[in-house]
Structure 1
């Protein structure tokens, strides 16, 4: 049996081995979204506004998969750390069937409630019509996309982040070709306009699903020799749900919180909404690659918690935070110097450019808080103690933003800059609290 390197290998080496491929993959995934924004920006500012609304709903759908994927990584990693390979396999197979059922329900619910959701976010007229057209197509790719993420979660538990990285790099370059091809048409391929971006995404999601499933099949965690393992096991479902629900609620709250911010931003006009959408994408160019550290923390901590190697857990926390803060500092400098030039690639409207640049500069300072939050969450997930996470998320995403932004926007008529600053203060307070909680929880379970 192959030795579990996550239990023995040097932590610094492991973080690099897992985080770098994951970060590269996340970077190309971010650039994938940037390419979408670039081509949509060539259509119109209203189209970018519609894409921004659609992305928030898309993120809400992803939240369910994120929780289940995190649960699969944690349980499979814990099982491998205890050298219980059959149990790890059971979690993988039942996890994939669980995700299939969840995906079907999400698609069904999406088609029913889309218009109401977009309307609540403030979408109207052409922006509402385009948002509905785009997202109705995206829903076609939800099932293969979420299944691909579930299969990748099992690969992460074994320390493999390279396979998914490869699909994201391939998807980025394929998207460069498919976006203009489906938007403008070519020979027998019709012109789909704005919706062509959605068709390109769905096509790429199917390719990703087949490749990641094949890579999982090549491991000892997935095969068709024991079909009974695919049958729903209520005990396994309960374990996965118990672990997944806090993280799914956390991500769902994040998406609802972003919608809440979008609602308040809409008071400043559709150009500010477009600026927020562009700024959000540019911010992700810097932030998401840092989240490769989360993947490393989740994989290493879950395996070592299963083996009760607490010294290694503390070491991975300290090193990952150090690397994250260094990357955050570099990100702040980069966005201050080059943020405006990147934004200008997506829109030529001066008001949109200036508003988006102000957003990314203020948000870049919050990178340090985000790193603290996400790594703390990954540790809690890895030690199977994620239950406080959704409560913190409600505080920072819904409760405090609703109270403070209502006062600032509706009663004091503050500028949109005040909105960005308020959000930053809330995130920093949440980051400090969850970090201290994580440290106390580790001391308690030792």
Structure 2
């Protein structure tokens, strides 16, 4: 489909139909990618509880780097989609190529800082001397590949901004499939390939990122011609980078608050022992699988909002936002039922000790109760970024995580142990969702709208 046709669909086709057409490929791609990440956790769990706990400690650090990548992708999508909504295709090409160079440089710098400070960081998180060699073996490889991780993520944001969600879905699916194939080979060994243990899991991710990097660059430059191999000049790069960073840095900051809060939560959980960290880490990875629709909508909704924002169609922005929220609420209720029914299978797959199984049970009975309203907060955050209001999105993240989520969860742990910690997270998500919805609807009421005779 040509670019003008795709833009017309985002601006003129029925909202529910358009949102579904953009979201279902992303649901498939996210589901495939996350399911293979769960498979990754499964293979690591076969190595033992210590290895699973070690990977649990890496989550706050790896997600910090990933959060920067996500934030830069959000900025890229918002800027390019608005330019396309204004019919400014050449500037969109410049912004896309600038985004890739900017993202690679920033993630490489963050990865270097992480590598240099890895030991004190993991000590601060509560990692024991016994776990440190496992953690460092995994992270030394992971940090090397981090710049290659960000390129496909930002490249996919460029495609989504143009209305193409099918290609990012295919690229995500391929990456997850390759990682799942490489995992058992490198972790346990096969033929002449020696068993590498937990380091093999990191190397499997690195190899899948290399292939994804090559594919996305070819697709953007050769196949679709959505970007130039490089910006036409330094001044153009600087100008584009500024626009991207105005949204990308606050968005990255907002995303980085999540691993920071998870680091605090991990440190709290660590006081209950390595088995608690192992169960909590497995639960967090299952949370991503349970939040597939939320994650898919957080990728497909912003381009729809940004293009209509660029065209002045605030009526369609309001309709898209509400449609997404109420779809998430219903779907996550069904997900909760499915998780509870599947609990014995989940415990059998991921828990090698009774203590780990018990933590997983508490996690699944309680935390998913709040996933629907947590989706409201996530989609409100991404919608604010799509409206080029990144500081408000950042403020919402701060309120959610550090005014409500972490304090209420900690209070719950003091009153009722780990079950109290999980219940506190649910309560915090409910309160924040109400605040987020009311705030965003107030923002929309203040925005001017361009009326069109043909309607929506």
TM-score category, normalised to shorter length: over 0.9
Q: Structure 1 residues 166, 343: closer, same or farther in 2, change over 3 A?
A: farther
Residue range with higher mean Cα deviation, 31-40 or 173-182: 173-182
Q: Distance in 2 between matches of 1:231 and 1:103?
A: 22
Correspondence for 2:113 = 109
Match of 2:149 among 145, 152, 161: 145
- 1:335 shift after superposition: 0.9
After TM superposition, the score normalised by the length of structure 2 is 0.93
Secondary structure of 1:268 counterpart: coil
Secondary structure of 1:71 counterpart: helix
* Matches for 1:65-104 after TM superposition, within 5 Å: 65-104=69-108
Q: Distance in 2 between matches of 1:91 and 1:341?
A: 47
* Contact 1:64-1:251 within 8 A present in 2 as well: yes
Match of 1:422 among 421, 424, 428: 424
Q: Structure 1 residues 161, 445: closer, same or farther in 2, change over 3 A?
A: same
Q: Structure 1 residues 152, 359: closer, same or farther in 2, change over 3 A?
A: same
Q: Does 1:50 align with 2:59?
A: no
Secondary structure of 2:363 counterpart: helix
* Contact 2:112-2:143 within 8 A present in 1 as well: no
Query: Over residues 92-115 of structure 1, what are the superposed CA-to-partner deviations in whole Å (9 max), with x where a residue is unaligned?
Result: 111111112102201211111111
After TM superposition, the score normalised by the length of structure 1 is 0.95
- 1:397 shift after superposition: 2.0
Unaligned stretches of 5+ residues in structure 2 = 449-456
Correspondence for 2:225 = 220
* Contact 1:163-1:215 within 8 A present in 2 as well: no
Q: Distance in 2 between matches of 1:183 and 1:231?
A: 46
* Contact 2:48-2:352 within 8 A present in 1 as well: no
* Contact 2:186-2:193 within 8 A present in 1 as well: yes
Match of 1:2 among 1, 4, 10: 4
Correspondence for 2:178 = 174
Unaligned stretches of 5+ residues in structure 1 = none
Q: Distance in 2 between matches of 1:11 and 1:232?
A: 35
Runs of 4+ in 1 over 6 A off after TM superposition: none
Indicate the RMSD between aligned Cα atoms, in angstroms: 1.8
Residue range with higher mean Cα deviation, 285-294 or 104-113: 285-294
Query: Over residues 184-231 of structure 1, what are the superposed CA-to-partner deviations in whole Å (9 max), with x where a residue is unaligned?
Result: 22232222122101100100011111112222122232134x752577
Correspondence for 2:444 = 442
- 1:263 shift after superposition: 0.6
Q: Does 1:365 align with 2:382?
A: no
Secondary structure of 1:159 counterpart: coil
Q: Distance in 2 between matches of 1:174 and 1:93?
A: 26
Correspondence for 1:246 = 250
Residue range with higher mean Cα deviation, 239-248 or 281-290: 281-290
* Matches for 1:274-289 after TM superposition, within 5 Å: 274-289=278-293
* Matches for 1:31-430 after TM superposition, within 5 Å: 31-217=35-221, 218-224=223-229, 228-229=232-233, 233-401=237-405, 403-404=407-408, 407=411, 409=413, 412=414, 414-430=416-432
Q: Distance in 1 between matches of 2:406 and 2:387?
A: 32
Secondary structure of 2:305 counterpart: helix
Secondary structure of 2:271 counterpart: helix
* Contact 1:94-1:229 within 8 A present in 2 as well: no
Correspondence for 1:432 = 434
Q: Structure 1 residues 404, 126: closer, same or farther in 2, change over 3 A?
A: same
Correspondence for 2:453 = none
Q: Structure 1 residues 210, 261: closer, same or farther in 2, change over 3 A?
A: same
Q: Distance in 2 between matches of 1:408 and 1:433?
A: 21
* Contact 1:77-1:303 within 8 A present in 2 as well: yes
Secondary structure of 2:90 counterpart: helix
- 1:346 shift after superposition: 1.5
Query: Over residues 63-85 of structure 1, what are the superposed CA-to-partner deviations in whole Å (9 max), with x where a residue is unaligned?
Result: 11111110110010000000000
Q: Distance in 1 between matches of 2:233 and 2:445?
A: 37
How many residue pairs align between the two structures? 443
